[in-house]
Amino acid sequence: MRLGILSDAHGNVEAFELALNILADAKADAIYFLGDSVGYIPETGVVSALRASGIPVVKGNHDDMLVRQAASAERDAIYRHRETFALLSDDERDFVRSWPSQLTVRDERGALLFVHGSPKDPLEGYVYPDSSLSDFAEVDADVVFMGHTHHPFVRRHAEKLFVNVGSCGLPRGSDLRGSVCIFDANERAAKIIRFDISGPCRRILSRYSLAPPVASLLERCANFEVSEGKS
């Protein structure tokens, strides 16, 4: 059994669809999405695609803020939640509201935990490549999948596997390619796959006037070359 896991599309629907194709090419038997379908880019296509696909989803902090209309006016100038919310149908809004904050899947080898943030704070917890994992040693799962930070990693701690799958649509850090994870459930082994999203980012910049920090990140993603980072 091979699972594909992706997260943090943030409205970059073209990058999201590219990520799904990569996971299909990697022979994923099932796919999971770890939240933040929206935010920063006022597009609803990822929500529509998730609704049509039947992919299991856990709610991200931006998904939660969007349906609660919780961002301040100052923050919403960056997040673009109100604009995105207005573009969603009532059924799509209810669909996003229905997403759980965490999901546990059990198999013959143990339990897989899917969250957006962290095991202790599913919506808002940040777990980076250099974060301590000691607080999660007692979590009731032998594999934990996370997103939220946009920084992917695969690490083992206390006989558990911790995977941050990064962001398929708005990566951060030194490697500005999208990322997804392919997980072999039998071997309990995870691999991060990086892929070029420069084209989708260029096209978003041509369609929208975005907040300066978002536009700056997308410009760097659009101009990123593999020679600058990892092969």
- Predicted confidence at residue 229, as pLDDT, reads 42
Note whether 45 and 13 are within 8 A (CB).
Answer: yes
Which amino acid, one-letter code, is at 62?
H
Write out the E strands in 22-70. Answer: 30-33
Which amino acid, one-letter code, is at 134?
S
24: Cβ contacts below 8 Å, ≥ 6 apart: 4
- Give the predicted TM-score (pTM) of the model: 0.96
Write out residues in the chain with pLDDT < 50, as ranges: 228-229, 231
The 10s digit of each residue's pLDDT in 21-52 is 999 999 999 999 999 999 999 999 999 999 99
180: Cβ contacts below 8 Å, ≥ 6 apart: 4, 5, 6, 19, 22, 23, 165, 166, 168, 192, 193, 195
The first and second tokens of residue 79, run together, are 């997040």
- Predicted confidence at residue 104, as pLDDT, reads 98
- Predicted confidence at residue 226, as pLDDT, reads 74
> Which domains, and CATH codes, for the chain?
2-225 (3.60.21.10)
The first and second tokens of residue 166, run together, are 């990064």
The 10s digit of each residue's pLDDT in 117-135 is 999 999 999 999 999 999 9
CA angle, 15 then 21 then 24, to 5°:
145
